[in-house]
Structure 1
């Protein structure tokens, strides 16, 4: 199995967006995804044997980076690719001068929360009733990484 990371462009967004809609219960809109290709953003897609398996979108403002989205296709989940993608994001954020990284995760996304904790992200706050769900709303857990 060969793993590779490549930045994606507007030409790749349709394929990236298919993963977003397959993996997320409440995906970001296509227009928001397009807006995340501006100057302050950076991204990468992860490929397994030349097959698109996932992606992330990050931004950087001064010395802080935010992980806007990270997503693995359902058919590739559970193979450690999320960890590799997150590690790639952290490396790219550091290269761009980040001193800290921030993210939000749904309270119900236990696997992602555990992954972030295992990679030295710390819970710092919550946004109460932030994310929509099928039955109402759930909290967003705000996490930070400052181990550069």
Structure 2
């Protein structure tokens, strides 16, 4: 098995859009997934045997990195691919001079929050009622990682 993390390319976008819909109850709009990245973007694809199984969208502005979206195909979850992709994102942000990395995660997404904590992220705040949810709204946990 060959695992590669590569820059997200237009050839990946159909698979990204499929995974986005399958992995998230409230996916990004397709126009956001297909938007042209800017010079501050770091969008990555995780390929397993040349098949896209995950992706992330991020950016770096003035030393502050933000993980905007990350997903692994539900059929490939539970195999460590999320950690692999997040490690790759963090390493590339470190190489590009990030001083810290920020993200937000649904309070109900305990698997993701536990992964972030295991990699050194700390919860520093909570945005009440930030995300749409099936029964109204749900909180976002704001987490940060200090790059050394």
TM-score (normalised: structure 1): 0.96
What is the alpha-carbon distance in structure 1 between the residues aligned to residue 31 and residue 40 of structure 2? Answer: 17
Query: Structure 1 stretch 30-39 or stretch 107-116: which is displaced more?
Result: 30-39
Residues 138 and 83 (structure 1), Cα distance of their counterparts in 2 relative to 1, 3 Å cut: same
Q: Given that residues 64 and 100 in structure 2 are in contact (C-alpha distance below 8 angstroms), is that contact kept between their aligned partners in structure 1? A: yes
Structure 1 window deviating more from structure 2 (25-34 vs 74-83): it is: 25-34
Aligned twin of 1:77: 77
Q: Gapped runs of 5+ residues in structure 1? A: none
* RMSD of aligned alpha carbons: 1.1
Cα distance, 1:75 vs structure 2? 0.5
1:11 deviates by: 3.3
Counterpart of 1:115 in structure 2 is 115
Partner of 2:144 in structure 1?
144
Matches within 5 A, 1:5-24: 5-24=5-24
Q: TM-score, normalised by structure 2?
A: 0.96
The number of residues matched between the two structures is 148
Gaps of 5+ in 2: none
